[in-house]
């Protein structure tokens, strides 16, 4: 589930109703989110999606058994923690690099920006 969509989806995984965290996730993403959510004391369920014809890629659906859990609210209200004790930010959730040296007026702009006289 992208953090841009606040709609919560509930579905069954292995016969248990779950709040869907992310659909069509890769194996690496499953490992990352499972580790993060179990550390935050949520029970995680993972189901493999059926492969499309002619495709070797496998995708997974990740859910938690707490049907009231909404990842958008949990991330933006800073309710989740990393193993190092830091709060989970949207960049951490999306596995993007967090650059703490970027001024607030530059953050969130398109990729081609002028910063310190250089095009980044």
* pLDDT digit string, tens, across residues 53-64: 877 889 999 999
- Judge whether 103 lies within some domain: yes
- Judge whether 105 lies within some domain: yes
How far is residue 1's CA from residue 102's CA, in Å, rounded to a whole number?
Answer: 27
Q: What is the β-pairing status of strands 10-13 and 60-64?
A: unpaired
Structural domain count, the chain: 1
Domain of residue 50 covers 10-119
- Judge whether 1 lies within some domain: no
How far is residue 80's CA from residue 92's CA, in Å, rounded to a whole number?
Answer: 11
Strands of the chain, DSSP E: 10-13, 16-25, 44-48, 60-64, 114-115, 118-119
- Judge whether 3 lies within some domain: no
- Judge whether 79 lies within some domain: yes
How far is residue 99's CA from residue 71's CA, in Å, rounded to a whole number?
Answer: 23
Reported pTM: 0.77
User: 6-49: per-residue pLDDT in tens?
Assistant: 788 899 999 999 999 999 899 999 999 999 999 999 999 999 99
């Amino acid at each position: 589930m992208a953090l841009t969509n606040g709609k919560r989806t509930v579905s069954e995984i292995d016969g248990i109703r779950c709040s869907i965290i992310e659909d069509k996730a890769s194996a690496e993403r499953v490992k990352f989110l499972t580790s993060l959510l179990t550390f935050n004391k949520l029970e995680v369920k993972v189901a493999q999606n059926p492969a499309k014809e002619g495709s070797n890629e496998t995708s997974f659906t990740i859910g938690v058994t707490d049907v009231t859990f909404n990842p958008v609210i949990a991330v933006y209200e800073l309710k989740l923690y990393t193993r190092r004790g830091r709060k989970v930010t949207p960049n951490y959730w999306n596995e993007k690099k967090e650059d703490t040296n970027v001024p607030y007026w530059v953050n969130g702009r398109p990729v081609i920006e002028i910063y310190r006289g250089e095009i980044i």
